[in-house]
Amino acid sequence: MPLFLQVVAWFVALAVVMSLIEHQVHCRLMHKKPRMAWIRDLKPRIKMFMSHAVEHHTQYRKEFHDEPVPHGEDRGIRLNPFEGLLESLPLTLVLAPFTTVGAIMFPVVVCLHHMTWNLVHLEMHKPRGTFFSKSRLFKRLARHHYLHHRYPDKNFNVFLLVGDYVFGTMAKPSEADWAEMRRQGLAPQLTGGSDGPSARVAA
């Protein structure tokens, strides 16, 4: 297979893998307490749990977004790409004996994932009017993440939703959810005065 096609194939495959990893880390480490004590009692895991499940979800439980904050004060809603590169090493070492392209691509995918995650997640919670903030895709992702804050056991992925589809954790919004998402600017306002199915499809 030509090198270009190898790169594309590995990029797509590893992006899917990254979505699955994000889902499981978010679900099992950031929202739940693992059964195994040696994982449950790790200080980094406890810090992650408190920062996300307690502080972050408490802050954005009712209002999905608030004012932008200076860089450095948004640690709770950012991923660290450098930490991501370090965390990618185990799988990179597993891939290395079998595929050089895959071993090189995985840290690249992790870094791109973290940077994109930061852009999207920050715009959701600390909107700055970035170039993609008015797009339908972003609004769709924002509604997906809003529902995660309403239902913390659903919608664990932020921008690449493969994991939620695979693990069956897609939330279904209620009528009240749609009304609140419209109030917060995440869904378009109705023109016909009713919450019919067509309004949901258009949103």
Q: Quick check: 19 pLDDT over 60?
A: yes
More confident residue, 92 or 79: 92
* pLDDT given for residue 48 in this prediction: 66
130-148 confidence digits (pLDDT tens): 999 999 999 999 999 999 9
Q: What is the pLDDT of residues 161-174, one digit of tens each?
A: 999 999 999 999 99
Could you give the percent of the chain with pLDDT greater than 90?
A: 62
> Which contacts (CB < 8 Å, 24+ apart) does range 163-167 have?
163/19, 163/20, 163/22, 163/23, 163/24, 164/23, 166/20, 166/23, 167/23, 167/27
Dig out the tokens for 15 from the structure. 């992006």
* Total-model pTM: 0.82
pLDDT for position 33: 73
Report which of residues 56 and 72 the model is more confident about. Answer: 56
Confidence at residue 136, expressed as pLDDT on a 0 to 100 scale: 95
User: Degrees (nearest 5) of the Cα angle 100, 105, 109?
Assistant: 165
pLDDT at 35 over 90: no
Q: Can you give the pLDDT at residue 196?
A: 43
Write out pLDDT tens, residues 99-114: 999 999 999 999 999 9
pLDDT band for position 198 (cuts 50, 70, 90): very low
**Domain residue spans in the chain?**
3-129
Q: Dihedrals φ, ψ of 64, to 5°?
A: -70, -30
Q: Check residue 62 and give its pLDDT.
A: 59
* pLDDT score at 53: 56
